[in-house]
Amino acid sequence: MRWWLLIIAVLLLLGLGFYVVTSPGRLQASALPRGTPDAKNGEYVFIAGGCSSCHGAPPADAACNDPAVPDKHDLAGGRCLVTPFGTFYVPNISPDRESGIGGWTDVEFVNAMMRGVSPAGAHYYPAFPYTSYQRMRVEDVLDLKAFLSTLPAVRSDVPDHDLPLPFRLRRGLGLWKLLYLDGTPYTPDPAMSPQAQRGGYLVEGPGHCGECHTPRDLLGGRIDGKKLSGAANPEGKGVIPNITPHKEGIGDWSAGDIVEALATGFTPDFKPLGGTMTKVAENTAKLTDEDRAAIAAYLKAIRPLPSSVQKPARKKQ
């Protein structure tokens, strides 16, 4: 007879369960390393992370998905990422106190970058690649914050994300994170050389290469077993290439070829890497030679995998 009370109780319990399970995991301020952050290293992290490619303000009057970034230090946001899950608008990360991240504490910044949690305790959408940044050294993240705070404060009004109904429930990301955010730092492969291990840190951490180059499952999480073997372009057409040392990937490139590609934006055949990668290369061009060589060593050392997404026959020249 009081079956309806039972149903309400179950629903409440489920709701409470959902709330608890999806509560954001955060680092505590006491867990942060002591010491003075190094803004110079922070600038290098900023380059390795390619932050300006997303957070840089688009040209005036250009479409929000225009890849050009006129001023890499103008981080007013406003760029858009059009994905199968909806359209995401990139936020302002300049030191502006109202529309940017001015006034954020160290632990708030670390939790945003490495746990995908806002200062107010809301989940960020993984369009912000915190699943990669979780692998970074906290010191590097703090150095980055120190550098960001030296940049000009720019006020801007960035639209809210434009997402279909089911994806508008931010809290639901708590469930997604249970699957895809393990909170572990980068674990170098002991079988790799120290150089390749360094490359692995750059690729899996700040470089967040896998966010484009690793295929994703239906929930939009990266399939780690198919690491860097290529993926469908999240922004629509074309294919993101396989960069494993397989013949379907870049197996026929030497480590030197990879270094040159990262330095110039050109393939060994003197063709531009193309699309977004040409923009990425603008940043990798500013890394040290050692770090480019480290990335190349890593990409030559990872498991060769066949391409996850077949692309139309590539003209081999």
Query: Among residue numbers 54 through 83, which ones bind other proteins (CB under 8 A)?
Result: 68
Burial of 302 (0-12, 13-18, 19+ CB in 10 A): buried
Whole-number Å distance between alpha carbons of 150 and 118:
21
Candidates 82, 257, 304, 306: give the one binding other proteins (CB under 8 A).
Answer: 257
Whole-number Å distance between alpha carbons of 123 and 164:
17
**Does 103 participate in binding other proteins (rule CB under 8 A)?**
no
- Which CB sits closer to other proteins, 251 or 274? 274
**Does 272 participate in binding other proteins (rule CB under 8 A)?**
yes
Whole-number Å distance between alpha carbons of 161 and 163:
6
Radius of gyration of the chain (CA): 21
**Does 265 participate in binding other proteins (rule CB under 8 A)?**
yes
Q: Of 42, 282, 287, give the one whose Cα is nearest residue 151.
A: 42
In this structure, are residues 79 and 71 in contact, taking their beta carbons and an 8 Å threshold? no
**Does 254 participate in binding other proteins (rule CB under 8 A)?**
yes
Span from 115-123, 144-152, 158-166, 260-268 in contact with other proteins (CB under 8 A): 260-268
Candidates 270, 288, 312, 316: give the one binding other proteins (CB under 8 A).
Answer: 270
Structure tokens at 229: 């073997």
Binding to other proteins by CB under 8 A, coded x per residue (else -) over 274-313, reads x---x------x----------------------------
Burial of 192 (0-12, 13-18, 19+ CB in 10 A): middle
Span from 6-14, 81-89, 224-232, 254-262 in contact with other proteins (CB under 8 A): 254-262
**Does 233 participate in binding other proteins (rule CB under 8 A)?**
no
CB of residue 276 to other proteins, shortest distance in Å:
13
**Does 239 participate in binding other proteins (rule CB under 8 A)?**
no
Span from 32-40, 114-122, 164-172, 264-272 in contact with other proteins (CB under 8 A): 264-272
**Does 235 participate in binding other proteins (rule CB under 8 A)?**
no
**Does 264 participate in binding other proteins (rule CB under 8 A)?**
yes
CB of residue 245 to other proteins, shortest distance in Å:
17
Three-state secondary-structure class, residue 105:
coil
Three-state secondary structure string covering 189-256: CCCCCHHHHHHHHHHHCCCCCHHHHCCECCCCCECHHHCCCCEECCCCCCEECCCCCCCCCCCCCCHH
Q: Of 119, 143, 168, 173, give the one whose Cα is nearest residue 44.
A: 143
**Does 193 participate in binding other proteins (rule CB under 8 A)?**
no
Interface positions with other proteins (CB under 8 A): 68, 254, 256-257, 260, 263-266, 268-272, 274, 278, 285
